[in-house]
Amino acid sequence: MNLDTIIFFISAIVAVFGATMMITQRNPVASVLYLIVSLVAQAVLYVQLNSVFMAAVLLIVYAGAILVLFLFVIMLLNLRGREDLTDHSLSMSRFTKYLVSTLLFIEMLFVVRSGFFADAGVTGVIATQPTGFGSVEEIATLLFTRYLYPFELTSVLIVAAIVGAVVIAKRDRGYGKPVATSKQEEPSRRQSTK
Amino acid sequence: MVPISAYLILAAVLFVIGTVGVLICRNIIVMLMSVELMLNAANLALITFSRALNIMDGHVFVFLVLTVAAAEAAVGLAIVIMIFRNRETVNIDRFNLMKW
């Protein structure tokens, strides 16, 4: 058992542990922190797979930006201890979701045990790579030559997401009527929404 | 060296955990985070195949998936804020207005 295997097993256990704790925590802030633990372990695996730049992007974009956004929203909603989400009902939907989860888990165990991944069309052991694999230069070359068009479409997607988020989360909206632009209409519209 | 099947099995396990989280969690924010976890599991599989086949294109796909995840988080959290403002809850079982 060499160092690579040990690092892989530690990272894998931490990643699965963080993910499991994330979906079982009651407090959403603890959920976010456990997801960050899982992401850091996955970033270690990325480094092991020679994709150092993607590991950095994962940590900066996910742990640094997206999960902080989640934390901001949780702080904004002031969720802690506010309501009890435990479900004691004996409804059909509750039974169904646990049944589907169990079946999915059994299916995963079956696929893993059947050795499906061992002959996934590639060699079983990762060979040594030529230098430059996973570097920023290689990614940038691909991103700005062969994948230039999808990359430009990405910017359209982000603009659409920003505009959509602002429009959805805006507080004052006139439902079904044109939005008031002049300042004289502002007080009357406030009263009508109350 | 670690065989790539180990990485793929880990990706599958993380994906199933994310799916189970979407299914059984009642907190809508945790559901969104489970979706993020599923996207991450797909990313891990992409990186693994990219490394195993010695083709860099998987990294570009991971880049695009990260962008989609960021956009999804922004819009999803905006929706969470809006429905919390209207209903005063994050319990997904109470958002049943469009349920048949």
How high is the ipTM of this complex?
Answer: 0.91
Q: How wide is the angle at C-alpha A126 spanned by C-alphas A147 and B58, nearest 5°?
A: 15
Q: Does residue A58 belong to the interface with chain B, where contact is any CB pair within 8 Å?
A: yes
Mutate to test the interface with A, among B2, B34, B84, B86 (most CBs of A within 10 A): B2
Question: Is residue A128 scored above 70 in pLDDT?
Answer: no
**Averaged pLDDT for residues A64-79:** 87
| DSSP per-residue letters across chain B | --BHHHHHHHHHHHHHHHHHHHHH--BHHHHHHHHHHHHHHHHHHHHHHHHHHT-THHHHHHHHHHHHHHHHHHHHHHHHHHHHHHHS--BGGG--TT--
Question: Is residue B33 scored above 60 in pLDDT?
Answer: yes
Q: Does residue A159 belong to the interface with chain B, where contact is any CB pair within 8 Å?
A: no
Tell me the pLDDT band of A153, cut-offs 50, 70 and 90: very high
Tell me the pLDDT band of B88, cut-offs 50, 70 and 90: confident
Q: Does residue A6 belong to the interface with chain B, where contact is any CB pair within 8 Å?
A: no
What confidence score (pLDDT) does residue A175 get?
A: 56
